[in-house]
Amino acid sequence: MATNILGIGQSALAAAQVGLSTTGHNIANAATPGFNRQVVVQGAAKAQDFGFGFLGQGTEVSTVKRIYSEFLGSQVRSAQTSKSGLDSYYTQIKQIDNMLADPDSGLSPALQNFFSGIQELSTDPSSMPARQAALSSAESLASRMQSMAGRLDEIGQGVNSQITSSVNAINSYARQIAQLNDTIGRVQNSTGQPPNDLFDQRDQLILDLNKEIKATVVKQGNGDYNIFIGNGQPLVVGTTSSTLTTVASPINPEKIEVAYLNSNGSVASVGESSFTGGNLGGLLEFRSQSLEPAQASLDNLAIGLATTFNDQHKAGLDLNGNPGGDFFVVPTAATGAADFAVAITDPAAIAAADSDGGVGNNRNALLLAALQTTNTMNGGTATYQGAYSQLVNQVGNKTRELEMTSSAADKLLSESTLSLQNESGVNLDEEAANLLRYQQAYQAAGKVMQIASQMFDVLLSLGQ
């Protein structure tokens, strides 16, 4: 009987030790990203039949369980990918919004100054200072147009760089998840017990992956996580991960696109819709929905302004009596606003007069100035300034929309994270109470073993 009591005490002592270790592990990792608290699962050991009845044989620890909600974890991942995508989009478009709406560096003041110069020229078409001032304001307009086009191109190059970085991060996460699938499978097969810390690492990697791209998790019967992105393209299947890469667009070599790298080294291009959500999805959506339309609008404005102004300028006579030529260099559709430039360098070459009134009249200058308020853009529905204002408004409205939706997404992510933490996170007050409980259990188990030892000594003395 004494040995039975000793065994019971030993089992209680062992269970208390496991409880203390598990509690200490929780406390040590309270601030570890992705850590989920663990609890000891124990039950009564199988009782022994002594004839007069069954006597308990103490306790046994069956496992150490990880407290984690798949449902809440899925909500956090969904909120994270949405928040990351919106933040990525907002950060990029904010740059364009600041540039377009800037009262000093935007295009509006340059347009206004240019036509003010033309109007001043019309009051004294023979004045060389007035002609030089008009030419200077045209140069300023061209410089501003080129600068804005260059800035948009810089933003595009920055997007390319960030897309490459995001693809590298996705590949790294995919490889690590596949490796963890392999490690977790081998550990569970050999021990039959769940490797909780490895589970935490894998879930954290999946959360980090969702910061880069929307990833759907499908849990397999053997415990593996299969990861799919976009329209169901596999990223991780068991212990195998796919590889993404970047390639130059066949339409625009300066534009980076995302593709799959096949095992044989070939590249399979897929649509941008396959890479949604997260940082990468936000970058791709920004480029297609805001950056490229903004570039196209600016290019159209540059081409429209140069073409219509040139047409009117050619209808007049310059100060030397020669027919007016191109005032602006008309940009091509492929390089757009970046090629917008002033074609003339001689102030006398400005065709301010018409062909009927001699070189000293201002009739063509008046017609050139009138173009400022003429609907020559967007199929004859907008002025130059109106077309530019539409671009400013579109970008501004989208920026404000993203600012609000990003704020809402941030709140949703915070709430989802809090719900998961309430379920799975470490509560230090609770763990402190567990420490005291297991300490008392440990001391009591030690007392049981002490009494059992004393009883055994008595039995030994009786036999002497």
pLDDT recorded at residue 359: 66
Average pLDDT over all residues of the chain: 91
Q: b/e string for 447-462 if b means 16 or more Cβ within 10 A?
A: ebbeebeeeeeeeeee
- Longest CA–CA span in the chain (Å) reads 143
Least confident of 54-63, 128-137, 383-392: 54-63
pLDDT digits (tens, 9 = 90+) for 66-80: 999 999 999 999 999
- Residue of 348, 350, 362 lying closest to 326 (CA atoms): 350
Estimate to the nearest angstrom the gap between the alpha carbon of 457 and the chain centroid.
Answer: 71
* Residue range 207-256, pLDDT digits in tens: 999 999 999 999 887 878 999 998 888 999 999 998 999 999 888 888 99
Give the CA radius of gyration of the chain: 37
Please give the helix or strand (H or E) that residue 446 lies within, else none. helix 428-462
pTM score: 0.89
Residues 16, 8 contacting (CB under 8 angstroms):
no
Q: What is the pLDDT of residue 357?
A: 66
Average pLDDT over residues 440-457: 85
- Which residue pairs from 398-401 have beta carbons closer than 8 angstroms and sit at least 24 positions apart in sequence? 398/93, 398/289, 398/290, 399/90, 399/93, 399/94, 399/97
Express each pLDDT in 264-286 by its tens digit: 778 887 888 788 899 999 999 99
Mean pLDDT of 120-149: 94
Identify the weakest region by mean pLDDT among 17-21, 187-191, 414-418: 187-191
How far apart CA 392 and CA 98 sit, in angstroms, is 10
According to the model, what pLDDT value does residue 91 have?
Answer: 96
pLDDT above 90 for 48: no
**CA 300 – CA 292 distance, rounded (Å):** 12
Structure tokens belonging to residue 115: 């036509």
Amino acid at 46: K
pLDDT-derived band at 334 (thresholds 50, 70, 90) equals low
Q: What are phi and psi of 368, to 5 degrees?
A: -65, -40
Q: What is the CA 317 to chain-centroid distance, rounded? A: 56
The pLDDT-based confidence of 464 (bands split at 50, 70, 90) is: low
Helix (H, G, I), strand (E, B) or coil at 273: helix
Sign for the pseudo-dihedral over CA of 83, 88, 91, 94 = negative
* Predicted pLDDT at 101: 82
Reply yes or no on whether the pLDDT at 2 is more than 60: no
Helices (H), 334-427: 363-370, 384-424
Q: Which residue, 85, 373, 342, is CA-closest to 213?
A: 85
What confidence category does residue 388 fall into, taking pLDDT thresholds of 50, 70 and 90? very high
What SS3 state is found at 207?
Answer: helix
pLDDT over 90 for what percent of the chain? 74
In single-letter form, the type of residue at position 259 comes to A
> Contact, 301 vs 274, CB < 8 A?
no
Instruction: With both helix axes pointing from N to C terminus, report the angle between 70-101 and 196-212 in degrees, rounded to the nearest 10.
Output: 30
Count Cβ atoms below 10 Å from residue 42 Cβ, excluding itself: 18
pLDDT given at position 65? 95
Amino acid at 119: Q
